[in-house]
Amino acid sequence: MVIKIGVLELQGGYALHHNLLKKIGLNSLPVKSGDDLKQSNGLIIPGGESTTLSLLMTKYNLRESIIKFAKHNPVLGTCAGLILMSKDVDDQRVDPLGLFDLSISRNAYGRQIYSSKKRIFFQYDQAKEIELHSTFIRAPKINYIGENINIVARHGNLPVAIFSKNLLGLSFHPEIDGIDIFHKMMFDKTSKFYYKNVN
């Protein structure tokens, strides 16, 4: 069976995710409907405008499909994707999916003109800590972390990547910098970081 990773294409920076998946030898397909999701073995919810993405998920009847899909398939959310995967968001215009027991503040790292690369430290499954430099664009801040959620990367003392079962959420944009370790962790069987939900 050919593994295909779906990339949500409602709005935002989905093209770079397709490029990164291709770079590491994985097939991808655009997800714009529930039928597209049924053909996928994993899902990426990209960065973008979380309020717009929230409205479009409702408009195209994708909310419940994504929630159901996320129970048994790997899902990666970057920036706005993390916001949407969370349980509580400090903006009533966003109707989150509630996949993570998290509380999130939108745009906590400042306006887009203050976007920058920041140093983060990544550690997963007792592996040696890895220093990375990745891009933060109006990045969300994680205010509260519930049970059964692991912090796998930090910027200073702040968690910027969290992992729970088959879900991975990032405050930053590894796809902009060509950082593939998080995509490999979730979707690439040949990687030492690969994770596959066995439920």
| Model confidence at 191: pLDDT above 90 | no
- State the pLDDT at residue 113: 45
CATH number where 23 lies: 3.40.50.880
The total of structural domains in the chain comes to: 1
Per the residue annotation, which of 17, 18, 79, 183 is the catalytic one? 79
Are 100 and 72 in contact by the 8 Å Cβ rule? The answer is: no
Residue with tokens 């409702």: 58
Computed over every residue of the chain, the mean pLDDT equals: 89
Question: Does 175 qualify as catalytic in the annotation?
Answer: yes
Going by C-alpha positions, the residue among 117, 118, 39, 43 that lies closest to residue 77 is 43
Q: Is residue 67 part of a domain?
A: yes
Q: Is residue 199 part of a domain?
A: no
pTM metric for this prediction:
0.92
Least confident piece of the model among 63-67, 125-129, 137-141: 125-129
First to last CA, the chain: 19
- State the pLDDT at residue 63: 95
For residue 149, the SS3 value is coil
Question: Does 9 qualify as catalytic in the annotation?
Answer: no
Pairing status of strand 158-164 against strand 150-155: antiparallel
Gap between the Cα atoms of 4 and 8, Å rounded: 13
Q: Is residue 125 part of a domain?
A: yes
Per the residue annotation, which of 17, 155, 175, 183 is the catalytic one? 175
Gap between the Cα atoms of 18 and 6, Å rounded: 9
| Model confidence at 199: pLDDT above 50 | no
Q: Is residue 192 part of a domain?
A: no
| Model confidence at 198: pLDDT above 80 | no
Q: Is residue 78 part of a domain?
A: yes
Q: Is residue 85 part of a domain?
A: yes
Question: Does 17 qualify as catalytic in the annotation?
Answer: no
Helices and strands counted in the chain (H then E): 6, 12
Q: Is residue 198 part of a domain?
A: no
Q: Is residue 92 part of a domain?
A: yes
| Model confidence at 105: pLDDT above 60 | yes
- State the pLDDT at residue 80: 93
Residue-number span of the structural domain to which 148 is assigned: 4-187
Per the residue annotation, which of 18, 155, 173, 183 is the catalytic one? 173
Helix ranges restricted to H, 60-150: 63-69, 80-85
